[in-house]
Amino acid sequence: MRSYGQYCALARGLDVVGDRWTLLIVRELLSLGPSRYADLQRGLPGIATNLLATRLREMESAGLVVRMQLPRPANVVVFALTPRGAALEGALRELVKWGAPTMSPPSAHEEFRAHWLQLPLRGLCRDNAPGSPPQVVRVGSLDDGCDIAVDGGSIEVAASTPTAEPAAVVDGDPGALVALFTGQLPIDAAASAGMISGDVEAVRRVVGGYPAGMPHLKEALP
Amino acid sequence: MRSYGQYCALARGLDVVGDRWTLLIVRELLSLGPSRYADLQRGLPGIATNLLATRLREMESAGLVVRMQLPRPANVVVFALTPRGAALEGALRELVKWGAPTMSPPSAHEEFRAHWLQLPLRGLCRDNAPGSPPQVVRVGSLDDGCDIAVDGGSIEVAASTPTAEPAAVVDGDPGALVALFTGQLPIDAAASAGMISGDVEAVRRVVGGYPAGMPHLKEALP
DNA sequence: CTGGATCCGGGAAGATACTG
DNA sequence: CAGTATCTTCCCGGATCCAG
């Protein structure tokens, strides 16, 4: 990207991450962890392959990303965030909080990946039953989703892993999924709609609801 | 901006503010308050006039900015942030915190405006003498600068105003100014260098220093 | 003078085909 | 699978011009 030529922390930051697609690539690497090129492409529908290659090269020379050759299996290449790249999480979370009020139902041409919910869910979920034993609630599927792990009052949201044994799995159309976690769709309604398989109480445990996680959701609307 | 076409809070947010110059325009309006077209141009060196006009129009239709005709003096036009636009401050502050570690001394071609320090200073300053009477420290000049107002432990950073009576004025070359407030340049050294006019103790009162405001400054470097 | 609009060249982004 | 090559499109940047 062409530099703004301003001695200003914001402008200097945008010189590095202001390019198109760059922050979405960071989102993918934050959500998925070290990823292969093809995995990044799947999580970034709409990106041109040359653009992804170019961005990864630029981000590597900017110190946001490292490219690694894993010896096994068979010289696989993965891309991972450096600490400097991972430090963008705060900025991404603020942008997510700001963008969330515009999450009206998806339009027909919009793509969706359940693992995109990871960053929002970190702000939206909590443990409503700290005394209960540890549990995992999966959103989406094992191929593409998040595991919300609650344990004694603390929560962790990460990409779905085969080792986790979810007490409940929540899935459904994107608009309903978002509505559920922002408190616009009651859990009972989601259950009746067949969005929840497994223990509905586990879902009730983690859904923090809209006012706690995003108190400004309404007043920030235009 | 062309939409990413992703049903994701981050992507939707970037659809609105991901365009070049948009966040810097928000920076100006956050720092200066409602501003005239020419004032924005002065605070955005390097922007093409057509681009500023285009962005302001886009931001207006996105609900970030309102265009107002003041009746007096003589039908003056000003641009101001809506609450939705002002809600970007959190994201901007995170980006500033992230960009700050790259604030090496300015290169020759970089422009500088003292009022750009406003957002960083909100994170960097504090009242080290809550018991003392209210004071104002000016950074830069009246034409282009910030007033740091401390009063009983709380601080407020705003654009310089003629009504304020600063106890001290800090000014100098951009690199030194940044170094002073990030704790890399001792206050005594700044005073000896002639950067401070007025009460040096007032400056000492507000300079919070680097570790408090930006604890991650070093570890976040590449 | 302020607050833009118009025109144009260059370069970044987008789409697709192709390859080691 | 992990990109490169190529072509097109359109946004950005710079200069100039214009209306109130």
Tell me the helices (H) and strands (E) count for chain A, helix number first: 11, 7
Percent of chain A with pLDDT over 90: 86
At position A60, the amino acid (one-letter code) is E
DSSP string over B109-158: T-B--GGGGHHHHHHHB--S-TTSPPEEEEEE-SSSEEEEEEETTEEEEE
Q: How confident is the model at residue A210, as a pLDDT?
A: 52
Q: What is the mean pLDDT of residues A52-75?
A: 92
**Sign of torsion over alpha carbons B114, B140, B216, B183:** positive
Nearest beta carbon to residue B84 from set A46, A109, A221: A221
Contact B206, B200 (CB under 8 A): no
Count of Cβ atoms closer than 10 Å to residue B204 Cβ: 16
Q: How confident is the model at residue A209, as a pLDDT?
A: 52
Q: Mind listing the pLDDT tens digit for each residue in B83-120?
A: 999 999 999 999 999 999 889 999 999 999 999 999 99
Q: How confident is the model at residue A178, as a pLDDT?
A: 94
Q: Both tokens of residue A164?
A: 């986790």
Nearest beta carbon to residue A174 from set B7, B14, B93: B7
A112 touches strand D (CB under 7 A): no
Task: Tell me the pLDDT band of B222, cut-offs 50, 70 and 90.
Answer: very low
Q: How far apart are CA B102 and CA B222, in angstroms?
A: 10
pLDDT at A216 over 90: no
Residue with tokens 């980006």: B95
Q: Quote the minimal CA–CA distance from B110 to chain A in Å.
A: 5
Q: What are phi and psi of A138, to 5 degrees?
A: -100, 135
Nearest beta carbon to residue A91 from set B16, B98, B106: B98
Contact B202, B169 (CB under 8 A): no
Q: How far apart are CA B143 and CA B132, in angstroms?
A: 28
pLDDT at B44 over 80: yes
Spatial CB neighbours of B127, under 8 Å, sequence gap ≥ 6: B150, B151, B152, B153, B154, B155, B205, B206
Question: Is B98 part of the contact surface with chain A (CB cutoff 8 Å)?
Answer: yes
Architecture in CATH of B9-102: Orthogonal Bundle (1.10)
How many angstroms separate the Cα of A25 from the Cα of each of A28, A41, A64, A166, B166? 5, 9, 11, 28, 46
Closest CA to B204 of B182, B184, B221, B188: B188
Query: Taking the domains of chain B in order of start, what are their residue ranges?
Result: 9-102, 114-206
B74 touches strand C (CB under 7 A): no
Contact B35, B27 (CB under 8 A): no
Residue B149's beta-bridge partner residues? B136, B156
Mark yes or no for CB contact A91/B91 under 8 Å: yes
Q: Both tokens of residue B171?
A: 């000014």
Contact A144, A222 (CB under 8 A): no
Contact B7, A111 (CB under 8 A): yes
Nucleotide with minimal C1' distance from the CA of B49 is: C4
Closest CA to A182 of A122, A95, A126, A124: A124
Q: Mind listing the pLDDT tens digit for each residue in B140-185?
A: 999 999 999 999 999 999 999 999 999 999 999 999 999 999 888 9
Q: Mind listing the pLDDT tens digit for each residue in A147-206?
A: 999 999 999 999 999 999 999 999 999 999 999 998 889 999 999 999 999 999 999 999
Q: How far apart are CA A84 and CA B221, in angstroms?
A: 6
Q: How confident is the model at residue B214, as a pLDDT?
A: 45
Q: What is the mean pLDDT of residues A13-40?
A: 97
Q: Mind listing the pLDDT tens digit for each residue in A90-99?
A: 999 999 999 9
pTM over 0.85: yes
A128 alpha carbon, distance to own chain's centre: 22
Residues 25-84 of A with CB under 8 A from B: 27, 45-46, 62-63, 82-84
Which fold, A114-206? Answer: Nonspecific Lipid-transfer Protein; Chain A (3.30.1050)
Task: Tell me the pLDDT band of B209, cut-offs 50, 70 and 90.
Answer: low
Q: Which nucleotides of C are covered by protein (CB under 7 A)?
A: 1-7, 12-17
Q: How far apart are CA B115 and CA A15, in angstroms?
A: 19
